[in-house]
Chain A
Amino acid sequence: MHISEGVLSGEVLISCWAGTCAGLALGLKKTDTKKIVRVAFLSSVFFLASLVNIRIGASSTHLSFLAPMGLILGPVVFPAVFTALLLQGVLFHFGGVLVLGANTFTMAFSALMTYIIFGRAIRESKKIFQAMTFAFIAGAFAVILSASLVGALLGLTDKNFLTAVKILLAAHVPLALIEGAVTSFLISWLKKNSPEFLC
Chain B
Amino acid sequence: MKKFLIGLITFSLIIFFETRGLAHGVGYRQSNLKSIALEFFYSTGEKMSYREAKVFSPQDAKFAVQSGRTDEQGRFAFIPDSPGEWRVIVRDEEGHQCEAKINLSKEFFSDKATSDSQNNNQQKNFPEGLELFIRALLGVSLIFNAAFLIITVKRR
Contact = CB atoms under 8 A, between A and B. Distances in A.
Contacts of B46: 53, 60
Secondary structure type dominating chain A contacts: helix
Interface residues of B, number: 29
B93 interface: yes
Contact of A168 (B43, B93, B136, B143): B93
Contacts of B127: 91-92
B97 interface: yes
A33 B135 contact: no
A167 B95 CA distance: 12
Given A33-B154, A40-B146, A92-B127, A87 B139 contact: yes
Interface of A: 1-7, 33, 36-37, 39-40, 43-44, 47-48, 51, 53, 58, 60, 83-84, 87-88, 91-94, 150, 154, 164-165, 167-168, 171
B140 A47 contact: yes
Nearest to B125: A93
Contacts of A88: 139
Contacts, number: 81
B113 interface: no
A39 B150 CA distance: 12
A2 B147 contact: no
Contacts of A33: 150-151, 154-155
B91 A7 contact: yes
Which among B49, B97, B139, B142 has the highest number of chain A CB atoms within 10 Å? B139
B144 interface: yes
B96 interface: yes
Query: 10 tightest A-B contacts by CB?
Result: A4-B97, A40-B147, A3-B95, A164-B93, A91-B135, A87-B139, A167-B93, A44-B140, A168-B93, A33-B154
A84 B154 contact: no
Contact of A171 (B43, B93, B126): B93
Contact of A92 (B43, B97, B154): B43
Which among A7, A33, A39, A87 has the highest number of chain B CB atoms within 10 Å? A87
A53 B96 CA distance: 15
Interface string B124-156: 011100001001101110111011001100110
